[in-house]
Amino acid sequence: MASEHEFCRLLLKQVMKEVKKAVPDAQERKKAWAYNYKNGQVEFHFGEFYWNGRGCCTWEAKAKGWEAYLGSIKQER
């Protein structure tokens, strides 16, 4: 039986392909962290970057957070 978070994990895996291009240092990427408030709210942190919103788990928080981070660095360029 598939985990209820299988989609979230696959989403994060897809997002990480682009993240690895933008943040090539694996040790730097490992500094990112996420938190699940268990009420549908999640947050993502990477250095000074912060994102929060709706999500079901930390995998989804990381996927959405990394997507937001990638969007923010594209705007800076």
Structural domain boundaries in the chain: 6-76
Name the band, by pLDDT with cuts 50, 70 and 90, for residue 77.
Answer: low
Query: Can you tell me the distance from the alpha carbon of 54 to that of 41, in angstroms, rounded to the nearest whole number?
Result: 5
DSSP 21-71: HH---HHHHTT-EEEE-SSSEEEEEETTEEEEEE-SSHHHHHHHHHHHHHH
Q: Is pTM, for the whole model, over 0.85?
A: yes
Output the CA torsion 2→33→70→37 (10° steps). Answer: 70
Q: What is the pLDDT of residues 11-70, one digit of tens each?
A: 999 999 999 999 999 999 999 999 999 899 999 999 999 999 999 999 999 999 999 999
